[in-house]
Amino acid sequence: MNKWMEQANCKGMDPSSMGGKDVFFQDYVGYDNDPTYVDSICAQCPVQVECLGYGIENKLEGVWGGVFLKLGRPYESANKHKPDEWWDDLRSRAVDA
Ligand code: SF4
C-alpha cells in the first residue's frame, strides 16, 4: 500500500471489496446507486489528486480521485452526472498539488 493510501477518505468503505480491505470504490454500485455520494467523499479526500494520478498511471478501472476510469481514462458516460463545478474544483486541487 502506498503511503498516501493511508489518508484515503474511502478506506474500508467499499461494500463490494473483500472484507472491506480495499480502500477504493470499484464502481458506483451501492450507495443507493447515487454516484454523487461517492463524488462528495472523493471531493473532500485529502489525497484526491494522488488517487486520480495512480488510477491513470496504472490504467485502472473504477473510481479514482472521484473520476470513473476505464483503462486509466475518464469514462464519459459514467461521469456525465458531474456538474462543471465538480470538475473545476478537481482542477484547482490538481494545480495546488
Ligand atoms: S479520492 Fe476517492 S477513491 Fe480516491 S482515495 Fe479518496 S475517497 Fe478514495
Structural domain boundaries, residue 55: 3-96
Residue 10 to residue 49: CA distance in whole angstroms:
14
pLDDT tens digits, residue range 58-86? 998 888 999 999 999 999 999 999 999 99
Tell which one of 11, 13, 26, 42 to mutate to probe ligand 1, the residue whose CB is within 8 A of the most ligand atoms. 42
pLDDT tens track for 2-11 = 888 889 888 7
The residue nearest atom 2 of ligand 1, judged by CA position, is 42
Cell of 78: 459514467
pTM above 0.75, yes or no: yes
The distance in angstroms from the start CA to the end CA of the chain is 21
Which protein residues touch ligand 1 with a CB less than 6 Å away? 8-10, 23-25, 41-42, 45, 47-48, 51, 63-66
Nearest ligand 1 atom, CA 25: 3
CB atoms within 10 A of CB 47: 22
Residues near 32 by beta carbon (within 8 Å), at least 6 away in sequence: none
The pLDDT of residue 97: 72
How many separate domains does the chain show? Answer: 1
